[in-house]
Structure 1
Amino acid sequence: MTATTLHTAAIPPVRRALVNLRGCLAKTADHFAAQGTAEADWLDGRLAPDMFALTRQIQTASDAAKNLAARLSGGEAPSMPDTESGAAELLDRLDRTIAYLDSVPPSAIDGREDVEIVLKLPTITLRFTGASYVRDFGLPNFFFHAVTAYGIMRHLGAPIGKLDYLGPMDLTRPG
């Protein structure tokens, strides 16, 4: 059995979810293109009036993923201004986010379980260890935006389901 490290607890699940989110977005784009629906109409979809629209949910999931890797590694996340206005640009952003995660070696993260991570939010400053950041903020925040994006696409009628969100699974068992 492979030991769980900070890297394996944080980066592979987020990378996998980004790949699956990319697949859901591509299927959604194809579906609405075939129906003749303007991209702006479905990319502005949201689950509630006070929630981010689909475009912003995808951008925020991307930000959460790259910031997770950067904060854990002590590096700098690549700049990705929120300027995407179409599905192709959002798919490209997800590709660039995945590539960034792939560029951060496990050795840059492992062993940083106790490093202090400070998040300065508009109304509060949060202080974490590397491990508590992953558990209490990094992963929950990322998955909140990823699953909300999925929920918006489903709500709008995209032909995606739970297995699209979950993606391929390694169901092998040793022995």
Structure 2
Amino acid sequence: MSEAVQIDMYKASVPVVLNALTNLKAILSKAEAWAAEKNIKDATVLNARLALDMLPFSKQIQLVSDTAKGVAARLGGVENPSYADDEASFAELHERLQKTIDFVKSVDATGFAGSESRDIVLKFPSRTIEFKGLDYLTGFAIPNMFFHVTTAYAILRHSGVPLGKADYLGG
């Protein structure tokens, strides 16, 4: 007879989210330096996209932020702060990421206790998705966050920003 494996939802989520946010801030700094060196306007980079039907770079950053704070709030049992999604410069995107990092760090680990079985309901304009906490974290939130981190990275690489795998991984 096997025993059920226990998971520490705080340790399975917060360090992963903080690592991704911190790496993304460093990537954003490299993009900002590259744009300044090449005399490229913030708006050109912030509006860059891989395909016409994809969201632009700035929206990718906003969605990483939204996902990260959603993980901390939903699993930590606190109110999810709302951000305006109006960033129009590198400075404002840096501020957004730092505000998200600060929020995630502020959520007490004790609020995550039992969140693996907590009901999580996400409401979108076209549908509602219901999860238990562990399924939300592992099957939706973390993959979604890394989709947007990867897309932001790919937009910058495609634009010419000199980034490598070590930047993505934080090495």
Listed one character per residue, the Cα deviations across residues 62-103 of structure 1 (whole Å, up to 9, x for unaligned) are 011001111112211222101110000000110010000100
Report the TM-score, using the length of structure 1 for normalisation. Answer: 0.91
- Residue 141 of structure 2 corresponds to which residue in structure 1? 138
- Residue 55 of structure 2 corresponds to which residue in structure 1? 52
Answer yes or no: is 1:156 the counterpart of 2:166.
no
- Local SS of the residue matching 2:35: helix
Answer yes or no: is 1:61 the counterpart of 2:72.
no
Q: Return the structure number with greater helix share.
A: 2
Gaps of 5+ in 2: 1-5
Q: 1:115 aligns with which of 114, 118, 121?
A: 118
> Following the alignment from structure 2 to structure 1, what is the Cα–Cα distance between the partners of residues 169 and 23?
7
> Following the alignment from structure 1 to structure 2, what is the Cα–Cα distance between the partners of residues 49 and 148?
14
- Local SS of the residue matching 2:116: coil
Q: Counterparts in 2 of 1:71-110, with a 5 A limit?
A: 71-110=74-113
| Residue 159 of structure 1, CA deviation | 1.3
> Following the alignment from structure 2 to structure 1, what is the Cα–Cα distance between the partners of residues 98 and 35?
21
- Local SS of the residue matching 1:118: strand
Report the TM-score, using the length of structure 2 for normalisation. Answer: 0.93
- Local SS of the residue matching 2:94: helix
| Residue 4 of structure 1, CA deviation | 4.6
| Residue 147 of structure 1, CA deviation | 0.9
Superposition CA RMSD, Å: 1.1
Q: Tell me the matched-pair count.
A: 166
Could you list the runs of 4 or more consecutive aligned residues of structure 1 that deviate by over 4 angstroms after TM superposition? none
Q: 2:131 aligns with which of 128, 132, 152?
A: 128
